[in-house]
Amino acid sequence: MSGLVVQGVTVKAGERTILDGAGFTAPAGAVTGLIGPNGAGKSTMIGAVMGLRRLVRGTIAFDGANLPAMLPAERARLCAHVEQFATTTERLTVGDVVGLGRVPFQSAWQAAPSAQDETAVASALAAMGMATFANRLYQLLSGGEQQRVQIARALAQEPRMLLLDEPTSHLDIKAQLLVLDVLRAQAQAGCTVLLAMHDLNLAARYCDHLVVLDAGKVVAEGTPADVLDPDLLLRVYGVAATIVQVPGKPYPLVIYDSAPNTD
Ligand code: ADP
Ligand code: MG
């Protein structure tokens, strides 16, 4: 299958098992949502796919290639990663930060960005609605603006796989929809898109495929309509919910009823 195939992945921190034999697929040309409560292992899974976490067991393949065995530079020409908490202490402009997405394609002796690099940076900034921000200092932007710049950096990388860890957590609703529309367009162009997210209604609307992680294990995987089931939401999140089908909308809507009393 083309896309990402994760099988039986176990990751530990010291003696503690963080991912416990977790497996799922993220097909090419689709948006896959990785959902699950805080601490379920979503960021650890994305880190494992990016080669940042050592696998105790399991395999991770992208388009049939063994991803953990790749050199970081080789992986960076295929996969872009937007971290949950991206920070920089450097005094970089927005244009510089987005330009970092082009580094995997530049040779050590290249004095200046190529015309192709400049086009990729400009179109990534435009896609995020940040074209007028290129000369602003990244450090001085708001959290939501920085988040859009990080996504632009990943888009400038023109990756075959995009991994995004809660990419809309600081965004207003319009910016959330903008980002998710851009990610859908990336998938339609053939990219494999995997994003960790919390908003189940946005997940239902934008994801073709959902993977539910709970305590390091994949407990459900399938279409939003298959996965978003009241029993599962109660079991995984401890929240009572009703799933409704709104006439004319092809995706389910989650209505949160209550968090049961845990006294
Ligand atoms: P999520 O992204 O789903 O909220 P994480 O993948 O960040 O969850 O973390 C999963 C669990 O593993 C959490 O309980 C977290 O505290 C723990 N964890 C993650 N990385 C480490 C680490 N390097 N050392 C110890 N515990 C860790
Ligand atoms: Mg996380």
Whether 108 shows a pLDDT value over 90: the answer reads: no
The mean pLDDT of the chain is 94
- Report whether residue 11 contacts ligand 1, using a CB cutoff of 6 Å: no
DSSP H or E segment with residue 241: strand 240-245
Q: Determine if ligand 1 sits within 6 Å of the CB of residue 216.
A: no
Kind and range of the H or E run holding 214: strand 209-214
45 CA closest ligand 1 atom index: 6
Please give the Cα distance from 125 to 155 (Å, whole number).
9
SS3 180: helix
Q: Give 29 or 86, the one with higher predicted confidence.
A: 29
Q: What is the mean pLDDT of residues 179-185?
A: 97
Give me ligand 1 centre to Cα 131, in Å: 35
- 173 CA to middle of ligand 1, Å? 28
Q: What percent of the chain has pLDDT over 90?
A: 85
37-74: pLDDT as tens digits: 999 999 999 999 999 999 999 999 999 999 999 999 99
Pocket test for ligand 1, best of 34, 44, 82, 164 (most atoms within 8 A of CB): 44
Instruction: Read off the pLDDT of each residue in 23-45 and give the average, rounded to a whole number.
Output: 98
Q: Is the pTM of this model over 0.85?
A: yes
- Name the DSSP class of 93: B
Q: Which of 191, 194, 186, 151 is nearest to 170 (CA)?
A: 151
C-alpha radius of gyration, the chain, whole number: 19
How far does the centroid of ligand 2 lie from the alpha carbon of residue 42, in Å? 5
Output the CA angle 89-106-142, nearest 5 degrees. 30
Cβ 40 under 6 angstroms from ligand 1: yes
Q: Using CB atoms within 10 A of its CB, is residue 234 exposed (0-12), middle (13-18) or buried (19+)?
A: middle
The owner of tokens 């009823």 is 257
pLDDT at site 262 = 60
Q: Is the CB of 44 under 6 A from ligand 1?
A: yes
State how far the Cα of 186 lies from the Cα of 128, in Å rounded to an integer: 13
The whole-angstrom separation of Cα 237 and Cα 221 is 16
For ligand 1, whether the C-beta of 42 sits within 6 Å is yes
